[in-house]
Chain A
Amino acid sequence: MTTIFRAKRIITMNPSRPEATHVAVRDGRILGAGALPELEGWGPYDLDERLADKVLTPGFVEGHSHASEGAMWRFTYCGFLDRMDPGGKVWPGACSIDAVVERLKEADAKLEAGKPLSGWGLDPIYYENSRRMTRADLDRVSTTRPIGIIHASGHILQVNSKALEMAGMLRTGINHPGVPLDAEGLPLGELKGPDAMTPVSPLVGLDRGLLATDEWGLRQFARLCVRTGVTTATDLANLLEDEAVDMMLRVSGEETFPLRLVSLRVFRNTTVAGLIDHAVRLKKRSTDRLRLGIVKIVADGSIQGFSARLKWPGYYNGAPNGLWYVPPEHLREAFRLALDAGVQIHTHTNGDEATELVLDCIEDALRKYPTPDHRFTLQHCQLADAAQYRRMRKLGMCVNLFPNHHYHWGDQHYALTVGPERAERMNPCATALANGVPMAIHSDAPVTPLGPLFTAWCAVNRRTQSGRVLGEAEKISVADALRTITLGAAYTLKLDGEIGSIETGKRADFAVLEDDPTTIAPENLKDVRVWGTVHGGKVYPAAEA
């Protein structure tokens, strides 16, 4: 059965046929794109006119997100910026501590007694005078119910007195950099880092372990993908234990599941050999809509948390260098074993020293196991310099940059973490393209909101929240940005033969847009409206998602 979709305009990313008005689909795949008469040669068809006034692009590919973004919507949104939930409702930002408290009071009133109240997305860096929240603020919501809010970064938990008391932490004698104390020596209510968060997280309903098997959350994530034009998304750090894989296979196998999920096995709770072996076994369980078998390794921390590994001269404010999250020896071993076994690795590096180490390790591993087209990918890789891009090119690396950072925390990078010069070269998309390094760009949802068009806008405009342009020379064109959020990301996942452009043989995955991203002013790219998606030839309007 053939369906031919008519559209106002189809942007194909196929250079020999960059534009079309019709696309023919059979069995979930593309027969061809072109003018109607060209496609009629495929035989009898149904003409689908539902998208006749829409602009189609290849379905967007989010190369670094976490399906836990969906599960976050179980909790009260407390972020500073407006954010759309999976049902399409836009939650206005809570732009002061009082506003957060008011919002939590509303949620508290609707919640059964005894249940913990959980929130997410807090980002106190934006509040007036950067005032930090304390447990006294949350005690205004409740003194009898435990309350916890996870910060936007995911690395800090904000709690009330009741939560501290239940965890046995409302006492003096705690001496830990992640637990700031008040004048009486009691915790202020801000818990930074996994050590400080662990005793309290499960008591406030924010147990990390539960998120991986959260079926409701996965469905919400897929809805968000429809609303943002995404047809393939990564779930970048999952332990992929059997129970989670079984759930994901079942849900993604449903006829009307609108998303192809690429879930990476994160290096945790196993040995290097166990990791690579697990990836090999996972690959065999892959289906069209659940792709398994790639590995994610975290080499260092974050720049705004001062836990990234920086080369000399280090942090602008003089903070000591960050920590290795994995011993360099293990990284070296992992790359060798992975190349030998044909497993792809994506490595989280933020600081330029972490990037340098990965480049050294891959160079070493390639000498032992020469592998053309390995596509090992650097994730975030925010601070890499030009020389490192030249090495990436020679070593066959891909990069997935994080331009959303400029908008969300660019002003802080400029003033505090790395200083003006390096803040301007963070996420240097133009340098990557000029050096021929295959590139994707990402949101790291839920750290920043899922939305490839917004990410593309960030790469095109490089604007901070205060309006500063960080790195004029690293801006890229709208055409390059659109290619990056489709074919670019697909390439880093070794899926560019299947998705990322609208041409014969590929999956019939489209983003369906109300506005034309190539004719709208570049500074308005983020305002392009998404009508929905087509995934495997099925139409998914956002309004019904």
Chain B
Amino acid sequence: MVSQHEAPIPVTVVGGYLGAGKTTLVNNLLRAAAGRRLAVLVNEFGALPIDADLIEAQDDRMIAITGGCICCSYGSDLVAALIDMGRRTPKPDQILVETSGVALPGGVASALSIVAGLRLDAVLVLADAETVRERAEDRYTADTITRQLADADIVVLNKTDLLSNEARAERLAWMQTVAPQARILPTSQARVPADVLLLDGPGPVRGTVAATHAHHHVHDAGLHASEAFAIVDTVDADRLARELIDRVAGLVRAKGFVATRAGPVALQIVGRRPVIEPAPETIGTKGRLVVICVGSPVDRATVEAAIAAAR
């Protein structure tokens, strides 16, 4: 049994080419941290790209951010920076790694496994909706762009406000062919609902999960909704994940615990990627699942049908 204390720190990889909006996204998340201790690792040098009003104190390589977050640059040595982060007290609740513009985010994600005490949560890749197609046809950057997008769990198609409706639809359709494995979130100013990327802190999903609890509001990334479900029966976790991914429109994320014939498991879906691991604590036979959709409301009936199919 793994105690709360030893739970690995979740790491979110934020990738994408130069100018795609990685820095804006990171600043947005820092504003939405709401008490979480986020550690942000950036590849940039010189003035670290954090909005001035967020900065509490700063030296050469590290910025302390209001609310207990920090930001530092890692240059050519990401793994060393990750080792340092894991040794900090208090430990960060979550680490965000902003990759260099030419790095493959999948490569960065696999580097996480080298450092004990970390786990990959999500690979997010941003794309500038205006320029991404041109870059994806450029003789020097084409394969870098398409390989970056192919590594994504979630693609944030940014700056769509600068496009006409037709251009936006065309770009979205194209992105689906380049990154079929990912969920694609069209947005502007790199706005992504915080609960898509920020976790509840170390360890398992916290808080009360009432079957009726739900909230809806409209975001730049379209309608954003999060709903919780109680699962009373034993299910086939792999099947449940697949059913949810295939059936639920707009699903970008699901997290929770379910009972299986082999015992309780933690079930996560990030984009279209399921992660099923032994549950870190005894949850009895009562499963619970939070489903987050962007661009459409959570269709309760569809989710219930997926759960039923996995029984």
> Are the CB atoms of B114 and A328 closer together than 8 Å?
no
> Are the CB atoms of A274 and B45 closer together than 8 Å?
yes
> Are the CB atoms of B114 and A171 closer together than 8 Å?
no
> Are the CB atoms of B101 and A169 closer together than 8 Å?
no
Q: Complex Cα distance A329/B141, Å?
A: 10
Q: A194-B76, A198-B80, A323-B102 are in contact. Are A176 and B110 (CB under 8 A)?
A: yes
> Are the CB atoms of A194 and B140 closer together than 8 Å?
no
> Are the CB atoms of B113 and A353 closer together than 8 Å?
no
> Are the CB atoms of A268 and B140 closer together than 8 Å?
no
Q: Complex Cα distance A18/B79, Å?
A: 55
Encoded as 1 (CB less than 8 Å from any A CB) or 0, chain B from 98 to 116 comes to: 0011111001001101111
Q: For chain A, which range describes its interface: under 10, 10 to 19, 20 to 34, or 35 or more residues?
A: 20 to 34
Cβ-based interface call for A495 (8 A): no
8 Å CB contact of A179 from B77, B114, B143: B114
Q: CB-CB < 8 A to B107: which residues of A?
A: 177, 195
Q: Complex Cα distance A176/B106, Å?
A: 10
Q: CB-CB < 8 A to A321: which residues of B?
A: 143
> Are the CB atoms of A323 and B110 closer together than 8 Å?
no
Q: A194-B77, A323-B144 are in contact. Are A199 and B114 (CB under 8 A)?
A: yes
Q: Complex Cα distance A129/B75, Å?
A: 38
- Min CB distance A347 to B, Å, is 14
> Are the CB atoms of B113 and A173 closer together than 8 Å?
yes
Q: Complex Cα distance A172/B17, Å?
A: 33
Q: Complex Cα distance A324/B100, Å?
A: 11
Q: Complex Cα distance A440/B144, Å?
A: 32
Q: Complex Cα distance A325/B43, Å?
A: 13
Main secondary structure of the interface of A (DSSP, over half): loop
A residues 157-211 near B (Cβ < 8 Å) are: 168-169, 171, 173-177, 179, 194-196, 198-199
Cβ-based interface call for A130 (8 A): no
Q: CB-CB < 8 A to A177: which residues of B?
A: 107, 110
8 Å CB contact of B115 from A199, A271, A324: A199
8 Å CB contact of A168 from B75, B77, B116: B116
Most chain A beta carbons < 10 A, residue from B44, B102, B104? B102
Cβ-based interface call for A357 (8 A): yes
Nearest residue (CB) in A for B83 is A199
> Are the CB atoms of A327 and B79 closer together than 8 Å?
no
Cβ-based interface call for B90 (8 A): no
Q: Complex Cα distance A270/B111, Å?
A: 23
Q: CB-CB < 8 A to A196: which residues of B?
A: 79, 114
Q: CB-CB < 8 A to B110: which residues of A?
A: 175-177
Cβ-based interface call for A125 (8 A): no
Q: A327-B18, A327-B100 are in contact. Are A268 and B78 (CB under 8 A)?
A: no
B residues 30-47 near A (Cβ < 8 Å) are: 44-46
Cβ-based interface call for A326 (8 A): yes
Q: A168-B116, A174-B113, A174-B114 are in contact. Are A274 and B46 (CB under 8 A)?
A: yes
Nearest residue (CB) in B for A274 is B46
> Are the CB atoms of A353 and B140 closer together than 8 Å?
yes
Cβ-based interface call for A466 (8 A): no
> Are the CB atoms of A323 and B104 closer together than 8 Å?
yes
Residues of B within 8 A of A (CB): 17-18, 44-46, 75-80, 83, 100-104, 107, 110-111, 113-116, 140-141, 143-144
Residues of A within 8 A of B (CB): 168-169, 171, 173-177, 179, 194-196, 198-199, 268-271, 273-274, 321, 323-329, 353, 357
- Not counting A194-B77, A271-B45, A323-B104, a sample of 10 additional A-B residue pairs whose C-beta atoms are within 8 angstroms of each other reads A171-B116, A269-B76, A271-B46, A273-B46, A324-B144, A325-B102, A327-B18, A327-B100, A328-B140, A329-B101
Q: Which 5 A-B pairs have the closest CB atoms?
A: A198-B79, A195-B111, A271-B46, A324-B102, A168-B116
